[in-house]
Amino acid sequence: MRIKRILSVLLFCFLLLDLLGCEAFTRKFTRKSKKSDAAVEMVLVPEEYKGPQMTKEELYRQYYLYWSSWQDELINAFIQKSSLKKKADCAQEALKNLVNLKMMLVADAQKNLDLEITKLSDLLDDIKSDAYGVNDSRNLQMLERIKASIHRGFIYPKIRNYLK
């Protein structure tokens, strides 16, 4: 009888605990996922950084400096007998910066710069077609003439009145 009573008390306690539950107890022993439940959605919105606004004088001087640097790099590539790819890349960058210079000038000055742009463009075609460097000395002389011509005619103090 005594055993029945102990068993019935234990059964009663077990049922009571089962009905009441122990959430903290079950929470303590349940496995938690290591990843966060909500997936973080990446939103990629392209933003264009607009730096400080430059005056037309500063912009012209910057493009002129870029052109001059690329022209010097191209001349050095010919002197050092660099690869065809390096020569072509330097010529393309110099041409790109000359075109940027042209966009900043009024129509009359653009016509004068167009002559130099066409010379450099033709020279770029010659460079690309001359895989073995047969015409390197002629191309080097032409590059130096173009550089001298642009330095003479398109340096900022001479062109400042022709900016848009």
Q: Which stretch of 6-15, 27-36, 53-62, 155-164 has the lowest confidence by average pLDDT? A: 27-36
pLDDT tens digits for range 24-60: 666 666 777 776 666 777 778 888 777 778 889 999 9
As a 3-state breakdown, the chain gives helix, strand, coil percent values, each rounded to 5, of: 75, 0, 25
Domain ranges of the chain: 56-162
- The residue among 148, 151, 94, 83 whose CA lies nearest residue 124 is 94
